[in-house]
Amino acid sequence: MDIILNSYILFRLYVLFRGTHVFRVLIGIALLWFSQRVAVALGLVLTSWAIQGITAAAAFIIIVVFRNEIRSVLQAKNLKAILWGVPHRITKTPIETVIDTAFELAGKKIGAIMVFPGMDDLDELIQGGINWDGLVSREMINSIFWHDNPVHDGAVIIEGNRIKKVGAVLPLSRRDDLPSSYGTRHRAAAGLAEMTDALVLVVSEERGTVVLAEGSNVGTVNDKNVLVRTLEGHIGSTKEQWGYRKKEKREFAIAALAALVLISAVWFSFTRGQERLVAFDIPVEYVNRNPAMEIVDSSVNAVHVGLSGSGTLIKSIRPDQVKVRLDLSTAAVGRNSFVITSEDIGLPPGVVLRKVNPSTVEVTLDIPGEKVLPVQVDWVGKLRKGLMLTSAKVFPAKVQVKGGKTILDTLSTIYTEKVRLDQIEKSGSLEVKLALEPATLKIAPGSRDSVTVDYFVKERVSSLPAR
Amino acid sequence: MRQFWLLILAVIFWVMAVSTADVRAQEKKGVPPNGSEEKLSLVEAIVCEDMKGSTPVNGAIVFSSDLEKIYCLTSFDPVPREMDIYHEWYRRDELKAKVRLTLKPPRWSTFSSMRIRRSDRGPWRVTITDQEGKVLRTVRFSITE
């Protein structure tokens, strides 16, 4: 679960930030982090510290420097797009712009060759060239094929609304039946069209004509509308997008796999390695208790849990990540004994349970109830010689208490806290709190937790000697 | 006619005489005149340091454990018939002794006693019950230093 979740987060970061500068810097930071781990593994303390510092600073700098780019990525997308969606960058080729520019170049007798890939992969057939990735525009095409431009002899590869590559060298056709007036540019167009499903548009420098090569057909096109229809037929949205989607899907599949492999590697580097021990006092949580019962007593509130795992995992583990949960679904009224097993203990992945102390927990359950009990004062100490405590009135004389039914059944009186007799000289009144024993006993709402005692003292008049 | 009225008067006198005799007889037996048995009534319950005859000495609610013995006196009036009552001595909620005492009509006073030691310090109570176990009264006191 940990691996899958983190792989997905990494994959989403790739999907959201691919093609941006942030992504490249993130890769840089990842490499720095990896170097730091290697340095740690090799015991290069100073190097690891230095890299750690650089990584921390870089992470901070990336947020500051690329805040606008990050903001644009996050603001432009809704939550669904961030968590799930795939941003498609495909856009339609501005065919009319391309054709207008082609005829403009033809009018100026400037040679040009433009490739519109189909579904076939052209990478193995095209040689050289410079990656460009610029938006298609009249000015851009004009400037690429301008005589003084170093790349004007090569072909441009147009995918979607972008010129992906300029100065590309295409394979030449070996056909003999091509018109003798066709030069190298035409042969290159014919060559690529023969070998792939790409459509190649050539502007003849000598005759100022526009020639289209598709499959084995090579011919001059004079009508702009015919050319528009042909190009639309070739790079019509379905075909073009299908090809692009296929490529994009492949890219995402590779990215997802890479994220999975990377996170798995990080995970296993965490979970393996030198074993380390740690112990925590974890509070016991009781679950699935019958709602009609309540816990009136337990032998322990927390257990001592000994764990082991790789140094990195153990170092990062916190006590709140360890849970001890006892299932009380089988518990009955009275005292229940539970042995804590590994199933009762929730641990972070990769951490192994070594010991639990105590391994047995006694839990007493009872059905809650209420009872009205008379109050009795718990006098202690010694009354002064010659005095007698003849009577006392307690107000309220009875209080309502709540607690476990089993305990309530054994009680017939509730006593006050101890009241010392030593200070009593004459009749008077005092306020005293009730002693709730056992501690699970509670005063019911509406009853007081203390009582008023009016006591009456008199001098001893008796034949019995005062003791 | 005069004889008739004399006869009526004689019958009235006879009825009155008979009913008065019944009441006297019932009073002698301790049975209330209306035919239902008179209820036992506890008029006094006290814990004391000593007894002089049937009189409690130094009734109190706190007793020193230096005393050898304490007493619980109960007085009943009326006592409808000869019957038993019980004095149950508790220290906290632990029953220490249950003493059976016999009452005799028409009124009766009786007591039980408890020998006390230092270890008996704490709150006590004596519950007085009839022979059906019905609690007639509870007397609360403490044994202290």
ipTM: 0.75
> Which of A164-168, A448-452, B16-20 comes out lowest in average pLDDT?
B16-20
Distance CA A188, CA A203 (A): 12
Q: Over 80: is that where the pLDDT of A256 sits?
A: yes
- Say which residue, A199 or B25, is predicted with more confidence: A199
Residues in B touching A376 (Cβ below 8 Å): 123, 125, 140
The CA-atom distances, in angstroms, between A417 and each of A154, A305, A355, A384, A429 are: 102, 39, 43, 21, 15
Q: Over 70: is that where the pLDDT of A88 sits?
A: no
Test mutation, B46, B57, B142, B143, chain A, max A CBs within 10 A: B142
Other C-beta atoms closer than 10 Å to the C-beta of A406 total 15
Q: Is the whole-model pTM more than 0.80?
A: no
Confidence class for position A78, pLDDT limits 50, 70, 90: low
What does the pLDDT read at residue A283? 93
Local structure of A259: helix, strand or coil: helix
What does the pLDDT read at residue A264? 84
What does the pLDDT read at residue A407? 86
CATH number of B42-144: 1.10.10.10, 3.20.10.10, 3.40.50.2000, 2.60.40.1930? 2.60.40.1930
Distance CA A200, CA A154 (A): 12
Q: Over 70: is that where the pLDDT of A464 sits?
A: no
> Which of A73-77, A311-315, B87-91, B100-104 comes out lowest in average pLDDT?
A73-77
Q: Over 90: is that where the pLDDT of A85 sits?
A: no
What does the pLDDT read at residue A315? 79
> Which of A112-126, A212-226, A244-258 comes out lowest in average pLDDT?
A244-258
What does the pLDDT read at residue A73? 65
Q: Is B98 on the interface with A (CB under 8 A)?
A: no
Range B57-67 average pLDDT: 93
What does the pLDDT read at residue B126? 96
B140 vs A376, A381, A390: nearest CB: A376
Range A270-299 average pLDDT: 83
The CA-atom distances, in angstroms, between A162 and each of A98, A136, A154, A159 are: 11, 5, 17, 6
Say whether A413 and B92 touch across the interface (CB within 8 A): yes
- The backbone torsions φ and ψ at residue B73, rounded to the nearest 5 degrees and listed phi first, read -105, 135
Per residue in A410-424, pLDDT (tens digit) is 899 999 999 999 989
Domain ranges of chain B: 1-36, 42-144
What does the pLDDT read at residue A32? 82
Distance CA B50, CA B95 (A): 22
Q: Over 90: is that where the pLDDT of A401 sits?
A: yes
Say whether A379 and B142 touch across the interface (CB within 8 A): yes
- Say which residue, B88 or A90, is predicted with more confidence: B88
Query: Residue type at A67?
Result: R
